[in-house]
């Protein structure tokens, strides 16, 4: 696979040139990047998946929900619907896509909608819902909208400054686009990442003056869950687990379970994978399946031997206070 990526290097140069031209057209105002009166916060990255956008969106919901009427707008990647769809009790994972559906299931007091055209999605939300704030999930590359505040995520194990354009690397946008971010969050760090290492990373990222860089690690729950029960993960000790993942980077979860001493079979599928009947029948033969929450919403109506392990971002140092301070300042300026 790595050899193939190297052989495709000429294509990555063409891709990089296209990205550069597109960003230049927006930066110079030749292509319009529209601002909206409603406050908008963009959560995104420069690479293809694997930085923890959905857990960050959930963190922001929990942080801001007590004060504001929140709507989440996503593209709804790989959904089997088109146009603007507003989540309701009749909505399905196929209509919304796995990540928006996961958020809708978890947070009943907010609005969740999907639309590949973010401008139209914002217009529809303002018209129908009148939110105080719209969270734009995975919208950093969507230059047609100029968000009020942008949060850029980059994974500790694959910082955007060390990456290269697709298909040789994982970058889908220029690393120089990071200058548009108001806040950079380095995710999937070690909980023991030292202050000195944090300073070295900040220097490596060459962040702008007043552009804060925060650090998070994945914190897994002590309980595995499904729609019927919650059980301590430790109660599965001694049982052989089957781990099923359809996410961009399952390695942190694999590492976590191995460190907990679980012998397991790992069945890895592509990100956002919709399981075939044959694959479901095969999974039914397994005694006990652990999966991610994103995969769970695609499988929960098809399997009974299924649990998911919740995960969330935990901030190093006083990062949680800092992001709260940044967002409170932004919202006060907008309202």
Phi, psi of 184 (to 5 degrees): -115, 130
Is 16 known to sit in a ligand binding site?
Answer: no
Question: Do the annotations mark residue 335 as ligand-binding?
Answer: no
**What is the C-alpha separation between 224 and 292, in angstroms, rounded?**
10
How many whole angstroms separate alpha carbon 181 and alpha carbon 163?
18
The verdict on whether residue 54 carries a ligand-binding annotation is yes
φ, ψ dihedrals at 240, nearest 5°? -80, 120
Find out whether 50 is annotated in a ligand binding site.
Answer: yes
Q: Pairing state of beta strands 311-315 and 212-220?
A: antiparallel
Q: Report the C-alpha gap between 125 and 111 in whole angstroms.
A: 9
Q: Yes or no: say if 70 and 328 are a contact pair by the CB < 8 Å rule.
A: no
Coil/strand/helix, residue 286:
coil
**Residue 47 marked ligand-binding:** yes
End-to-end Cα distance, the chain: 50
| Residue matched to tokens 């063409």 | 14
- Is 154 annotated to bind ligand? no
- Give the closest residue to 312 by CA, choosing from 263, 252, 258, 270: 252
Eight-class DSSP state of 274: P
- Distance separating alpha carbons of residues 42 and 99, to the nearest angstrom: 16
To the question of whether residue 329 is assigned a binding role by annotation, the answer is no
Distances in Å between the Cα of 83 and the Cα atoms of 75, 77, 89, 118, 305 are 9, 12, 19, 10, 35
Annotated binding site for ATP: 47-54
Annotated binding site: 47-54
């Amino acid at each position: 696979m790595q050899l193939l990526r190297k052989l495709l290097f000429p294509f990555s140069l063409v891709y990089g040139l296209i990205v550069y031209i597109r960003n230049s057209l927006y930066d110079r105002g030749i292509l319009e990047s529209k601002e909206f009166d409603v406050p908008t916060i963009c959560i995104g990255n420069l690479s293809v998946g694997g930085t923890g956008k959905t857990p960050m969106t959930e963190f922001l919901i929990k942080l801001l929900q007590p004060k504001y009427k929140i709507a989440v707008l996503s593209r709804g990647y790989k959904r089997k619907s088109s146009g603007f769809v507003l989540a309701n009790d009749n909505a399905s994972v196929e209509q919304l896509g796995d990540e928006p559906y996961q958020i809708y299931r978890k947070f009943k007091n907010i609005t969740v909608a999907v639309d590949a055209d973010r401008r139209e999605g914002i217009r529809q939300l303002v018209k129908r819902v009148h939110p105080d704030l719209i969270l734009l999930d995975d919208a950093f590359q969507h230059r047609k909208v100029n968000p009020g505040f942008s949060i850029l995520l980059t994974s500790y194990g694959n910082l955007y400054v060390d990456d290269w354009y697709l298909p040789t690397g994982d970058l889908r946008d220029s690393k120089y686009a990071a200058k548009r971010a108001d806040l950079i969050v380095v995710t999937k760090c070690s909980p023991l990442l030292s202050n000195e290492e944090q300073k070295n990373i900040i220097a490596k990222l060459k962040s702008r003056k007043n552009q804060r860089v925060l650090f998070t690690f994945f914190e897994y729950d002590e309980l595995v869950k499904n729609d019927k029960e919650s059980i301590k993960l430790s109660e599965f000790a001694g049982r052989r687990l089957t781990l099923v993942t359809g996410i961009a980077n399952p390695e942190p979860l694999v590492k976590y379970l191995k460190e907990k001493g679980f012998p397991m079979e790992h069945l890895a599928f592509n990100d956002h994978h919709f399981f075939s009947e044959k694959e479901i029948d095969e999974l039914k033969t397994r005694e006990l399946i652990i999966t991610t929450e994103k995969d769970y919403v695609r499988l929960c109506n098809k399997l009974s031997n299924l649990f998911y392990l919740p995960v969330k971002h935990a901030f190093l140092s006083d990062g949680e206070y800092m992001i709260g301070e940044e967002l409170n300042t932004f919202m006060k300026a907008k309202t």
